[in-house]
A and B are shown apart, each in its own frame.
Chain A
Amino acid sequence: MLVYALKRLLWMLPVMLGVLIIVFTITYFTPGDPIAAMLGPGYTPERYAQKAAELGLDQGYFIRLGKYIWNAFVRFDLGRSYLSNLSISDEIAARFPITLCIGVLTIFVMAVVGMPLGIFSAIRQYGAADAALTVAALVMNAIPAFVFALLSLILFGVVLRWLPVNGLGSWKAWILPVVTSALPGIAVVMRMSRTTMLEVIRQDYIRTARSKGLKEGVIIRKHALKNCLIPLITVTGGFMTSVLAGSIIVETIFGIPGLGMYLMGGIIGRDYPVINGSVLLISLIVCILNLVVDLLYAMIDPRIKAQYSAKKGKIKKSGGTLPPVNEGGAA
């Protein structure tokens, strides 16, 4: 188990390196001249060359890529913004907690709302409530975050005037961003808990619990609920990815000064180091989350745990099974 965790941790290194190279390459080959944009109209060639040398933009692709990798991986330095000339690492460090906070709250809301609704709809399978929740989940899945954000801004911010529409002044201001981010997740968690629950309540041990005379509520809480945690963890891992990526839209609409808004500023201003740095950081978090999810699986589900420990003893599969047909291709 520990070996597995370490292996996965080490594997993150080449993945991050790959991500860095991809993102760097995309922005490297982007047409446009950041130096000309920075200097504004009417610069001299000397001034241009000086600025290029200052930023290291006069060097070739591989030298720049190498420098960027060295700085990012060894010194945790993502360079400076073209526009503000501030250190990107510092800026991200200052903004990321806000985004993370919204992300964690989102996951919390998603679990607390989605799971009970899913269980409820499984218990009342084919009832009116189940049908209504199914339709609700379909609709929630079809609303893009920015559409929901704009519509709820109109309803709660402009028409009803219940909630603030911009910034993070009071606790009320957190409601709309969190609900907006959580909505698609609630739908998915709801559907998955429903499916799991429907499978679980047909198992023998539940029937045993029932025949012992346990109350339905106790059966659900003590015996069935645990099983719903596994789909929840699966969804959480994947969903955090889309929350982080979606923060760019949600934060821009609600005026929240987090990582998403920073990235948005980078896109509008063609500030490529900012885009690179933000995407890199978000990808890193996605990798870490995936790792955590996989490890949590093993901790919670004894069946998966058994798989990891059994792997060592088994004979390697690829050698033992039928020889693949694809040998001797030139025949």
Chain B
Amino acid sequence: MKRNKSDAPSALADVTRKRGQWSDVLSRLFRNKIGLLGVIIVLLLVVLTVFAPLFTRYPYDAQSFPDRFKLPDASHIMGTDNFGRDLWTRLLYGGRISLLIAILASVISNFIGVFIGSVSGYFGSKTDTVIMRALDILMAIPPLLLAIAISSSLGSGPVNTALAISLSGIPYSARIIRSTVMSIKDSEFVEAARATGSRHLRVIFRHILPNTIAPLIVGATLGIGANIMAISGLSFIGLGVHPPIPEWGSILADGRAYIRDFWPIIVFPSIFIMLTILGFNLFGDALRDALDPRLKD
């Protein structure tokens, strides 16, 4: 049905096509109901955390001794923690940190991954062998452990955590880009670009990399979910982000001491973490389907 518009032979066809491709992707994304749920969860989280002060009356570090361990009620919808701080507020502000680190880590690791992967995939032969063997070594260390080692070396803090997680994710993003680049680099349009005298860098940046955007976006989105898991895990074991900065993993780590007597401090952060990861996973899966030209209907 939508086809008719873009296929119509008109002078404007070329102008509309560029936009048509992306609106096509968007419409396919929104037709996927599960994917739409993912988009809604992610958008909701972003709005709630970015505009956190609008959704709560309390500052995230306001301690109030008489209000300790309050069960959820009208004034504290998710109860209060061991210092009498409003849990809902802390979770919103904590989400800021978690999301920010996760996105930052995803951007860094994909940025470096694109560079390594495209060089490796484009030049092939010896360059490829050397780079791939080096990545093999990095991948022999489980990513969580590598992140733990780097994080314990760099120290805690949002930026260091983002660095630790992104470094441990580089081999994986590099491999995705490499395989995409390898599948494109023998195409005729690349050959044509080389034949007309384009330099390697130009061929990579102008002709090959634009074609890797789809897997890159999908990988980055799914990566954010995985990063949230890694960040909260690191904070939970005492690396990552430390109190008083609220972070979901560190709220859970603090709450562990009260697990027997006060359930909200474990249950609510858990729900936030699960929903966030679920949201990004659904969103990423749906994006993959929407961007895959083979699944076009």
* Residue on B nearest A31 in the bound complex, by CB: B155
Q: Are A245 and B145 in contact (CB under 8 A)?
A: yes
Tell me whether A29 and B281 are in contact in the complex, defined as CB-CB below 8 angstroms, given that A144-B232, A146-B233 are known contacts. Answer: no
Binds A, one of B11-19, B46-54, B99-107, B256-264: B256-264
What is the bound-complex CA distance between A322 and B236, given in angstroms? 53
Contacting B at CB under 8 A, from A11-64, are: 14-16, 18-19, 22-23, 26-27, 29-31
Q: Tell which of A15, A270, A286, A325 has the most Cβ of chain B within 10 Å.
A: A325
Q: Tell which of B190, B225, B278 has the most Cβ of chain A within 10 Å.
A: B278
Going nearest first, the 10 A-B pairs with the smallest beta carbon separation are A18-B137, A245-B142, A142-B278, A30-B153, A245-B144, A142-B277, A325-B194, A147-B270, A144-B229, A283-B140
Cβ of B132 under 8 Å from chain A? no
The total of chain A residues at the interface (CB under 8 A) is 52
Contacting A at CB under 8 A, from B263-291, are: 263, 266-267, 270, 273-275, 277-278, 281-282
Question: CB-defined interface of B132-163 with A at 8 Å, one 1/0 digit per residue?
Answer: 01101110111111001110110100000000
* Nearest CB in chain B: distance from A274 CB, A: 11
List B contacts of A268 (CB < 8 A): 238
Count of chain A to chain B residue pairs whose CB atoms are closer than 8 Å in the complex: 135
Cβ of B45 under 8 Å from chain A? no
26 contacts across the A-B interface (CB closer than 8 A): A14-B133, A15-B137, A23-B141, A26-B150, A26-B153, A141-B281, A142-B275, A143-B277, A144-B273, A146-B249, A150-B256, A151-B270, A154-B266, A241-B142, A242-B144, A245-B142, A248-B144, A248-B145, A249-B236, A267-B239, A286-B140, A318-B125, A322-B186, A325-B185, A325-B191, A326-B123
Q: Is the interface of B mostly helix, strand, loop or mixed?
A: helix
What is the bound-complex CA distance between A218 and B214, given in angstroms? 43
Tell me whether A154 and B267 are in contact in the complex, defined as CB-CB below 8 angstroms, given that A19-B140, A22-B138 are known contacts. Answer: yes
Cβ of A189 under 8 Å from chain B? no
Cβ of B206 under 8 Å from chain A? no
Cβ of A275 under 8 Å from chain B? yes
List A contacts of B124 (CB < 8 A): 324, 326
Cβ of B62 under 8 Å from chain A? no
Residues on A lying within 8 angstroms of B by beta carbon are 14-16, 18-19, 22-23, 26-27, 29-31, 138-139, 141-147, 150-151, 153-154, 158, 241-242, 244-246, 248-249, 252-253, 264, 267-268, 270, 275, 279, 282-283, 286-287, 318, 322, 324-326, 329, 331
Cβ of B116 under 8 Å from chain A? no
Q: Is the interface of A mostly helix, strand, loop or mixed?
A: helix
* Residue on A nearest B124 in the bound complex, by CB: A324
List B contacts of A270 (CB < 8 A): 152
Tell me whether A142 and B252 are in contact in the complex, defined as CB-CB below 8 angstroms, given that A18-B137, A22-B138, A147-B270 are known contacts. Answer: no
What is the bound-complex CA distance between A264 and B148, given in angstroms? 10
